[in-house]
């Protein structure tokens, strides 16, 4: 079962920070998932939301700030005073410090970041250590046109025969449905089409049960220790 830390171990540390990534590794996560956006001066930073308002002491869209401006923001205090002073991480920093230790799953949040993300991956020479995902179909099509050799996955709230066929036809490595849409027959169909099934949206342990019951290959989770806990239970 692929145990992918969603924005790092974001149930235990502020999402998309070094603290969350380090915690994920300590908890035995198989990979680190994060979100990539572009700043006003063309730099790539790790931020889920369109704005910095929820997860920093700043305000406004990420795309309206320079990297230098974002560097001044506190990205930890919103979560806990224990993380006060944690800073926003750049994609270059993530690759340098964490790609040798765990595979990376990079979600493109804004299509404008697509080409820069692919360029950064290629420049770093980590094509075999990274997967690129998005909810934006057009972003993935652009990415595959830029580098068809990378592993891609489509994040989809819908999981049905049509979306499985579309992902397989495009040569994606993964389909990433919401965990609540998983069924055994659909997972089996995706496997038959050559797709890895990695779910998202896990917020409780019953959904971990669903992963195993349907034969899914893994999930992104905010609490990376949940999947090992489930696997280690004597009754399983």
Is 6 a catalytic site residue?
A: yes
Residues listed for the chain: 236
Q: From residue 4, give the alpha-carbon distance in Å to each of 51, 193, 223.
A: 24, 22, 9
The residue annotated as part of the active site, out of 18, 48, 65, 129, is 48
The residue annotated as part of the active site, out of 4, 5, 6, 218, is 6
Residue 82: CB partners within 8 Å, gap ≥ 6?
Answer: 76
With beta carbons less than 8 A apart as the criterion, state whether 151 and 132 touch. yes
With beta carbons less than 8 A apart as the criterion, state whether 9 and 228 touch. no
Which stretches of the chain are assigned E, i.e. beta strand?
Answer: 2-6, 31-38, 44-46, 104-108, 130-134, 151-156, 174-177, 196-199, 218-221
Residues with a known catalytic role: 6, 48
């Amino acid at each position: 079962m692929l145990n992918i830390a969603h924005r790092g171990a974001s149930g235990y540390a502020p999402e998309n920070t070094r603290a969350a990534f380090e915690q994920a590794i300590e908890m035995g996560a198989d990979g680190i998932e994060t979100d990539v956006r572009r700043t006003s001066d063309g730099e790539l930073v790790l931020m889920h939301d369109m704005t910095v308002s929820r997860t920093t002491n700043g305000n406004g869209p990420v795309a309206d700030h320079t990297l230098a401006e974002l560097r001044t923001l506190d990205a930890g205090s919103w979560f806990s005073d224990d993380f006060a002073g944690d800073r926003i991480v750049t994609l270059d920093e993530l690759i340098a410090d964490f790609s040798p230790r765990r595979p990376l799953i990079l979600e493109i949040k804004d299509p404008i970041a697509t080409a820069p993300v692919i360029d950064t991956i290629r420049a770093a020479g980590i094509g075999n250590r990274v997967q690129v995902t998005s909810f934006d179909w057009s972003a993935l099509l652009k990415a595959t046109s830029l580098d068809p050799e990378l592993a891609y996955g489509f994040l989809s709230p819908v999981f049905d025969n049509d979306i499985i066929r579309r992902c397989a036809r495009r040569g994606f490595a993964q389909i990433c449905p919401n965990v609540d849409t998983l069924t055994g027959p659909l997972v089996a169909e995706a496997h038959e089409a050559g797709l890895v099934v990695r779910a998202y949206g896990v917020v409780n342990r019953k959904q971990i049960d669903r992963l195993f019951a349907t034969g899914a290959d893994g999930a992104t989770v905010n609490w990376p220790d949940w999947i090992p806990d489930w696997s280690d239970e004597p009754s399983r």
